[in-house]
Amino acid sequence: MNNQEKPHGQAAVSFANDILPLFRPQDIQHMQPMGVKLNDYTYMSTPANAQQVYDYLMGTSSPRMPLGGPYWTQAQLQLFNTWMTTGYNP
């Protein structure tokens, strides 16, 4: 199996199709002044940046994001984690 495939023939988790749509426009706008580019693949595919965003989404870093909620579901968090662990597919 190559890194572009998931088990059972499903397409790999991709930033453009699976991750970017999880961020609301207001989340992207809110984080931009802090230098966090949620809508930028190059920024988000840097492992340290992705992990930092994930930690805030999980609530292991404070404040939990998105600020004031609604917080991501376990399925959404798992999708983001899968994206990171399978190679940050664009």
Q: Which amino acid, residue 38?
A: L
Report helix, strand or coil for 85.
helix
What domain count does the chain have? 1
Whole-number average pLDDT of the chain = 91
- Chain segment 65-79, per-residue pLDDT in tens: 998 899 999 999 999
Q: Assess if residue 3 is contained within a domain.
A: no
Residue 5: strand pairing partners: 11
Tokens of 8: 């059972």
34 pLDDT tier (thresholds 50, 70, 90): very high
Residue entry with tokens 């230098």: 35
- What is residue 10's predicted lDDT score, i.e. its pLDDT? 66
With 0-12 / 13-18 / 19 or more C-beta atoms within 10 angstroms meaning exposed / middle / buried, residue 44 is buried
Residues comprising the chain, all counted: 90
Tokens of 65: 């994001």
9 pLDDT tier (thresholds 50, 70, 90): low
When computed from its CA atoms, the radius of gyration of the chain, rounded to whole angstroms, is: 13
Q: Assess if residue 90 is contained within a domain.
A: no
Q: Assess if residue 79 is contained within a domain.
A: yes
Q: Assess if residue 73 is contained within a domain.
A: yes
Q: Assess if residue 5 is contained within a domain.
A: no
Q: Assess if residue 10 is contained within a domain.
A: no
Q: Which domain holds residue 67?
A: 19-85
